[in-house]
Amino acid sequence: MGGKKTNSLRQALSKPFRAVRTWQLILILIPLAFFTATLLRFDHLQMVHLRTAVLEADAAGDEDEITARLTELRDFVYSHTVINIAESNGVQSIIFGTGPFYLEQSYLRAANAAIEEVRNQLVDDSNPNGNIYAAAAAVCQPLAIQNGWSWTNQGYLDCWTNELGKYPEVEITDNTLTANVPPTGEYRRDFGSPIFSWTPAGIAIVACFILAVIIIIRIIIWCILKLALIFLK
Cα 115 versus chain centre, distance: 31
Number of H helices, E strands in the chain: 7, 4
Asked whether the whole model's pTM tops 0.85, one would answer no
pLDDT values of the chain reduced to their tens digit, one per residue, 233 residues: 445 555 555 555 555 545 678 888 888 899 999 999 999 999 999 999 999 999 999 999 889 999 999 999 999 999 999 998 877 677 778 889 998 899 988 888 887 777 666 666 555 445 555 566 677 778 887 888 888 776 656 677 778 778 777 766 544 444 454 556 677 788 899 999 998 889 999 899 999 999 999 999 988 888 888 787 777 66
pLDDT on residue 180 = 64
Sign of the Cα torsion 152, 156, 162, 168 reads: negative
